[in-house]
């Protein structure tokens, strides 16, 4: 949880989870699917509610909240812990031209941490509370247009790792709650 922007139970937040040193990990489908599968698991089993999302090469944007009896920072902590271990394991076990470099970056960041060999995610979640409908719509637009601005796709709805297609009437990879 971000110390600057503490989360309040029951509220909805614009979140950014960033890979350590902004390493471009999510250029490989294998790593993207670990993350998507974990988000789906958290939605189905941990009370995570996702309203919009977009996975870029080195960070994840979401508008999310939690069921009434759940605490969003706890869900995010578990999500980041699990995905960190699974993605590092996948880097170690699968063909990866950048393996040594990536593992070195993650290991260096964990050097002074107890009980952690690799530091995959940066600390915090850069949480910003959704305080108005205008702010919500602005953040949804920002999230969905991220791949367009990065010149990955020409139209937001064409990006597979985003909820933009859901908002365009198609079915995406994650069951989002439409606003």
For 87-114, the pLDDT digits (tens) are 999 999 999 999 999 999 999 999 888 8
Question: What is the model's pLDDT at position 9?
Answer: 85
Q: Closest Cα partner for 124 from 11, 10, 15, 12?
A: 15
Give the residues across from 19 on adjacent strands: 121
Q: How many residues does the chain have?
A: 179
5 has pLDDT over 70: no
The pLDDT tens digits for 141-157 are 999 999 999 999 999 99
Domains and CATH numbers, the chain: 13-131 (3.30.70.1290)
Asked if pLDDT for residue 1 goes beyond 60, the answer is: no
CA distance linking residue 12 with residue 49, whole number of Å? 9
Q: What pLDDT is stored for residue 151 in this prediction?
A: 97
Average per-residue pLDDT in the chain? Answer: 94
pLDDT 10s digits, 32-50: 999 999 999 999 999 999 9
Q: Which of 56, 71, 64, 53 is nearest to 9 (CA)?
A: 71
Predicted pLDDT at 4: 55
Helices (H), 1-149: 29-45, 72-93, 99-110, 133-149
């Amino acid at each position: 949880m971000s110390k600057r922007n503490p989360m309040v139970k029951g509220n909805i937040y614009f979140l950014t989870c960033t890979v350590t040193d902004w390493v471009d990990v999510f250029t490989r489908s294998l790593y993207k699917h670990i993350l998507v599968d974990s988000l789906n698991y958290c939605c189905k089993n941990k009370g995570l509610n996702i309203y919009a999302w977009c996975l870029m090469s080195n960070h994840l944007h979401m508008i999310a909240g939690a069921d009434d009896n759940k605490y969003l920072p706890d869900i995010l902590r578990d999500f980041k812990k699990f995905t960190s271990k699974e993605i590092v394991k996948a880097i170690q076990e699968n063909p990866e031209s950048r393996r040594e470099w990536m593992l070195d970056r993650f290991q260096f960041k964990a050097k002074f941490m107890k009980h952690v060999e690799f530091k995959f995610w940066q600390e915090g979640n850069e949480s910003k509370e959704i305080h108005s409908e205008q702010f919500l719509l602005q953040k949804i637009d920002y999230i969905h247009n991220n791949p367009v601005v990065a010149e990955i796709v020409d139209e937001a709805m064409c990006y597979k790792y985003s909820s933009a297609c859901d908002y365009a009437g198609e079915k995406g990879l994650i069951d989002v709650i439409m606003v």
